[in-house]
């Protein structure tokens, strides 16, 4: 399984990448610090799951989700947020996300 982490917080991305390193089912972990960087690289990557932050500078996670699924409709996108706001959740699901995970969740919940 290949995973793409899209979040503007470097330490958060590095922590998730570190946790994925011990998982046999994870082949590749790609990273982007914003939606534009992610969308520019997406065509050239074989991606199964995207962990996508909702609030990022430039293009937000909702618009990034829509555009990413136009490029690769078969991907699964999981929205990440620090806030449990139902509006964020419903906007991401409407944009095509397959799920929503709070950033304070345990890693086992993500897996």
| pLDDT tens figures, 70-102 | 999 999 999 987 765 666 678 889 999 998 877
Mean per-residue pLDDT pooled into runs of 10, the chain (111 residues): 95 89 91 97 96 92 96 94 69 91 59 48
What CATH number should be reported for the domain whose range is 2-110? 3.40.50.2300
Q: Among residues 70, 59, 1, which one has the least CA distance to residue 29?
A: 1
Instruction: Judge if pTM exceeds 0.75.
Output: yes
Q: DSSP letter at 73?
A: T
How do the domains of the chain map onto residue ranges? 2-110
pLDDT for position 22: 84
């Amino acid at each position: 399984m290949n995973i793409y982490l899209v979040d503007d917080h470097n330490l958060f991305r590095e922590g998730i990448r570190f946790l994925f390193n011990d998982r046999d089912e994870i082949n590749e972990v790609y990273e982007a610090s914003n939606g534009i960087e992610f969308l520019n690289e997406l065509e050239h990557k074989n991606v199964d799951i995207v962990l996508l932050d909702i609030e990022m500078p430039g293009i937000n996670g909702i618009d990034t989700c829509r555009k990413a699924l136009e490029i690769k409709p078969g991907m699964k996108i999981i929205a990440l947020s620090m806030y449990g706001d139902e509006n964020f959740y419903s906007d991401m699901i409407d944009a095509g996300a397959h799920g929503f995970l709070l950033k304070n969740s345990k890693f086992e919940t993500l897996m």
